Amino acid sequence: MSVYIILVFTSYIIASIVNVWGRHKRDDLNNYLSKPLLMPLLAIGYALVAGSHMSWIIIAALVLCAIGDVFLMLPEKKADKPVLFPLGMLAFMSGHLCYFSWYVMYTRSAGFTGAWATGIFAFLAGIAVIVIILKKLNAGKFLPLFVLYTVIIMLNVAGAIGTWGTGSISGTVLCTVGAFLFVFSDAMIAFDVLGKPMGGPDVVMITYTIAQLMLVVGIITLSV
């Protein structure tokens, strides 16, 4: 393995640990310095490992998530009229759509399997469960945005499951677990926005950084 690959992924892990520690300590400066580095490092690592199998769709997904990271870490000027939060969600939704697009193109070339039926079931079940929870939490003005986000993030889950039987099982498992971790991480953010915190910002970042790493490694495993 190239020393550059080791260096980049080690840097990602270190930046993730530094950010998690900073979030735990509520250190905003730490967050501002380390968080914007995460997805660019992962994108570079992905490009180095994937080589000729690199997909610009995955690069776009990580860039969009990096943009979302920046929007979500910045303070709102008016708490009662959030602007950055919806923009951050829009960036992440676009990133999830990129991931889903890659799954569709990959399975189309590798051959669609019955796993997509399971993926569609998980997609519908996940939406139903999350919408019920949102209604019980009185999401109010955020309900339409959260429902839309739920639909799109569950596409990521469905796409990951849909890769079953098309290539490396370990790649499918990594992508699927990563997608579900992403859902869990974003659910914690939603709960916090609605005044029902279920995990601190450090837990959110732990699950988020692991989820993204698993998605990237899983996609590399499937494609090479």
CA dihedral 33, 77, 24, 207 (to 10 degrees): -80
Check residues 14 and 83 and name the one with the higher pLDDT.
Answer: 14
Average pLDDT over residues 53-68: 97
Q: Which of 67, 105, 53 is nearest to 216 (CA)?
A: 53
Q: Which helix (H) or strand (E) holds 29?
A: helix 28-50
- Local confidence band at 182 (pLDDT 50, 70, 90 cut-offs): very high
* Residue 74 DSSP symbol: S
Residue 166 has a pLDDT of 84
- Local confidence band at 1 (pLDDT 50, 70, 90 cut-offs): low
Average pLDDT over residues 177-194: 93
CA dihedral 42, 69, 92, 62 (to 10 degrees): -20
Place of tokens 């569950």: 154
**153, 155, 164, 218 from 173: Cα distances, Å:** 17, 16, 8, 7
Place of tokens 């005044």: 195
Residue partners of 142: CB distance under 8 A and separation at least 6: 190, 193, 194
* Residue 52 DSSP symbol: G
Note the pLDDT tens digit of each residue in 204-217. 999 999 999 999 99
Residue 80 has a pLDDT of 66
Q: Which two tokens stand for residue 110?
A: 């590798």
Residue 134 has a pLDDT of 87
Average pLDDT over residues 19-48: 94
Note the pLDDT tens digit of each residue in 61-115. 999 999 999 999 998 887 667 889 999 999 999 999 999 999 999 998 877 778 8
Check residues 94 and 190 and name the one with the higher pLDDT.
Answer: 94
Using an 8 Å Cβ cutoff, are 218 and 185 in contact?
Answer: no
